[in-house]
């Protein structure tokens, strides 16, 4: 296996920045291509399934090519597009925080719904963090290269971004993180991370950009 292989991450839903030809809505979603398995996975589904599918198709990907849907947490702006995804791809496997398993199984009774409590490798080098948090349970997605580097995709990080970073660091060096940072202000946890893609619900983007001018990257659909 070529250790230089790279995951491809396409941002398919965001409410802050959208490039020409793509549609917008409130929420977040990203499409991941895993070079180790040649599979596509969808992390979160935004708040509008029709917008999401339009954006996915702009990358010349059909929804029925997507093997997995990983939902960070149950809030509508991260799971609302799943209905349309399932209509277009009834064979997709759905991974959710363990606490949300029953509610998603009821809603998607014809699909395979897997509740994740602890870190779980859902396919080679693609790892669900397992649920983190108390009042709001949430999971992240870790993309791991053969050299041990970890790239993190997050939803809203309601429990605190630092907990997802700490768990990732148990597995390897954190290379980057993309997603919603919510009200995160413990900036020292971002030290040493090369790519900081704060978007969606992040409250303090200006402060993050000021502190990490060389590492902050604007994230657009």
Q: What is the pLDDT of residues 13-40, one digit of tens each?
A: 999 999 999 999 999 999 999 999 999 9
In whole numbers, what is the pLDDT of the chain averaged over residues? 96
The SS3 of residue 132 is: strand
Q: Tokens in use for 57?
A: 């198709």
| β-pair partners for 198 | 179
Reported residue count of the chain is 221
Q: If pLDDT is split at 50, 70 and 90, which confidence band does 84 have?
A: very high
Angle subtended at Cα 48 by Cα 10 and Cα 97, rounded to the nearest 5 degrees: 75
Q: What's the mean pLDDT in 197-221? A: 96
């Amino acid at each position: 296996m070529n250790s230089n292989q790279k995951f491809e991450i396409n941002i398919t839903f965001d409410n802050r920045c959208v490039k020409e030809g793509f549609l917008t809505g409130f929420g977040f979603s990203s499409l991941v291509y895993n070079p180790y398995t040649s599979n596509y996975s969808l992390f979160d589904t935004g708040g509008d399934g029709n917008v999401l599918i339009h954006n996915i198709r702009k990358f010349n990907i059909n929804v029925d090519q997507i093997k997995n849907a990983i939902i960070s947490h149950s809030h509508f702006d991260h799971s609302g597009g799943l209905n349309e995804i399932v209509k277009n791809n009834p064979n997709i496997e759905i991974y959710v925080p363990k606490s949300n398993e029953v509610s998603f199984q009821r809603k998607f009774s014809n699909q395979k719904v897997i509740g994740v409590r602890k870190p779980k490798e859902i396919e080679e080098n693609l790892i669900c963090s397992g649920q983190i948090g108390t009042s709001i349970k949430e999971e992240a997605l870790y993309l791991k290269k053969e050299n041990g580097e970890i790239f993190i995709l997050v939803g809203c990080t309601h429990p605190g971004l630092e907990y997802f970073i700490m768990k990732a660091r148990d597995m390897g060096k954190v290379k980057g993180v993309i997603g919603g940072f919510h009200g995160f202000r413990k900036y020292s946890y971002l030290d040493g991370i090369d790519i900081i893609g704060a978007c969606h619900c992040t409250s303090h983007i200006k402060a993050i950009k000021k502190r990490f001018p060389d590492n902050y990257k604007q994230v657009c659909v």
